[in-house]
Structure 1
């Protein structure tokens, strides 16, 4: 569905005017975009989107099959946009803006009409092994207008605020024990200053948010029973901010699985959508049964439909079969 409004984004003093948004005031260190909703239901505005992560493998490891099902579900739900939870290009990000992997893993894979919408993407640890500036470059948006990747930013869509967070620089291991990998830390160093400013902007954005729904998107897990498990740095630095500011959903990738953990100590739903391509690790760590609502060690993706009173979350496998549904309202959470 076409959206007529435009956005003015100032990023590194560059003017970008090809997206369907409009500009609003920013908070420290975080770019803010406004997305105009165009659908309504009995409860007012309606928003639908898909979430996929850990996907960029030139169609291999069932990436193309996941893309096919995303297209079918996207058409059925008439989605507004797609969210990517990072690790957009394997194994080592992009080599530059002219890297053919951009077309071979993105433009040539997600070809369904319903997926020709805006993609909001964050960086994953594998993306940091390549040329980070390439993924952030407006040149890629000229190659494929759907693409938008920023380090950390906010998307406001009337009743919901999405806060996208650059989680890779939080992880100590990538700095202290890189395991023969080279990371592109341009724009991050000095790390302490970067994280301090990011946390300040992140907390400020959540504290000032008047949205009905607050959704935080990052690459790394906070709570997970999967291969990577809990990211201690995020548990210590981000989780308290999520709890203090009544975040509804934390959405991530990193673990190559589909997962739903319903936190019993807060209202937060932890949702992992990292099954965009290579998966099936075959390992799962013990987790409280009352919290672990879904763990699927395979490929797939997630959809979310939001209105003023409820959110409907659905996980799909590589064949488009529904694995799990969850309904969240401001009055009641219930398994459906």
Structure 2
């Protein structure tokens, strides 16, 4: 399980009941300094975890079957934690901390011993359609100790730093063309200030990181051949920061598929793990074969096993079959960090 960082007393206060100060974790009109957590690797220095997204459907659309395979792979790989890439509860998030959907879509589904680990979760656009702050509340942690959901935060795991980024507020359509949906923007407005401060904090945290690996996790796609495709707001605003700070992987959900896309203009690899339940068969857009390493339009999840020197990625379908394997050996890269102006 995660341990508290002595470098950030606010993190400790959060878990010991100062709900009034930390329920939102993002102050209205600005972004507080990113919360930091520590999750040490195994004794041999390795780290193993699963990634799943777009799952919360009370076991339907093969969610339970995906959970079964996650439990089997999780136990075999002796995972340290699970990452959720958002859209945790369909269709419209949670109604509050007492919503039975929390148990029906999470606690009662991911019951395997191999999944009895810390879960690090971000919010997706469907989560923002409900009571978004309910998922951030420490009350849920008293219901299921595995649950940890914040807007944006950092997990330090010695060999790798994870940067979880709240991507939903970047998308213009949710504000200008909500299509009869209501979004919970408490803690986000005024939007321009929120995004400006978030980008500054992410850039600063990436620059300060001395970890061998840097992984950024968000809900929305940056590169995707799936239904939603490219999120242009992230390409314009977030991607230049990721490139300048030499991150290794960007991991997301949002498109209900499994993908691995490389980048011919940088060393970033983009992984979509949005197959936790309902998938979109045959919904694919053309993408350069030079970059598209995997596109699978069904349910499943991914695993990552890491050491200081290497990372091994595998994608699994709903039956536990391996769809795609890929490995990367770590080498030193030199690049000059660029300075950005935040609107």
TM over 0.5: yes
Partner of 1:248: 248
Take 1:250 and 1:14, find their aligned partners in 2: how far apart are those partners? 27
Q: Could you say if the C-alpha distance between residues 277 and 227 of structure 1 is closer, same or farther in structure 2, counting changes exceeding 3 Å?
A: same
Structure 1 ranges of 4+ moved more than 6 A = none
Take 1:295 and 1:88, find their aligned partners in 2: how far apart are those partners? 22
Deviation of residue 28 (structure 1)? 5.6
Question: Alpha carbon RMSD of aligned pairs, Å?
Answer: 1.7
Deviation of residue 6 (structure 1)? 5.0
Partner of 1:31: 35
Q: Which runs of 5+ in 1 are unaligned?
A: 18-26
Would you say the 8 A contact 1:94–1:102 is kept in 2? Answer: yes
Take 2:58 and 2:10, find their aligned partners in 1: how far apart are those partners? 31
What does residue range 189-268 of structure 1 map to in structure 2 within 5 Å?
189-268=189-268
Partner of 2:187: 187
What does residue range 52-63 of structure 1 map to in structure 2 within 5 Å?
52-63=52-63
What does residue range 54-203 of structure 1 map to in structure 2 within 5 Å?
54-203=54-203
Would you say the 8 A contact 2:4–2:12 is kept in 1? Answer: no
What secondary structure sits across from 2:133 in the alignment? helix
Would you say the 8 A contact 2:5–2:36 is kept in 1? Answer: no
Deviation of residue 39 (structure 1)? 3.2
Q: Could you say if the C-alpha distance between residues 15 and 108 of structure 1 is closer, same or farther in structure 2, counting changes exceeding 3 Å?
A: closer
Would you say the 8 A contact 2:51–2:82 is kept in 1? Answer: yes
Can you list the C-alpha shifts for 1:187-206, whole angstroms capped at 9, x where unaligned? 00000000011000000011
Partner of 1:316: 316
Would you say the 8 A contact 1:29–1:197 is kept in 2? Answer: no
Deviation of residue 11 (structure 1)? 5.6
TM-score for both structures, normalised by structure 2: 0.89
Deviation of residue 282 (structure 1)? 1.8
TM-score for both structures, normalised by structure 1: 0.91
Higher strand share: 1
Can you list the C-alpha shifts for 1:160-201, whole angstroms capped at 9, x where unaligned? 000000000000000000000000000000000000110000
Take 2:195 and 2:113, find their aligned partners in 1: how far apart are those partners? 39
Take 1:331 and 1:201, find their aligned partners in 2: how far apart are those partners? 26
